[in-house]
Amino acid sequence: MDYEYAPLRLPPNVDRVTAAVQLAIQAEFSGWELARVRLFRDGTRQVVLRRRRVNQPQPGLSY
């Protein structure tokens, strides 16, 4: 399997529910899945999304 990755950084003012909803929308409409989440002391989350690489173009991330 060949994957493409998209790193995201969520600021500390984004709560867990809001982050989950944003990531669920990306998963539903763009085919991304959660690969890794790191929570830092200041509340910042570093998220890595992945999806299978295909020959057809797929929609990118929306912020």
How is the chain split into domains, by residue range? Answer: 3-52
Summary mean pLDDT of the chain: 86
Burial label, 15 (beta-carbon count in 10 A; 0-12, 13-18, 19+): exposed
Rounded to an integer, the average pLDDT of 1-28 is 89
Supply 51's token pair. Answer: 């999806």
pTM: 0.73
- Run of H or E including 34: strand 33-39
- pLDDT reported for residue 59: 66
Q: Which tops the pLDDT comparison, 63 or 11?
A: 11
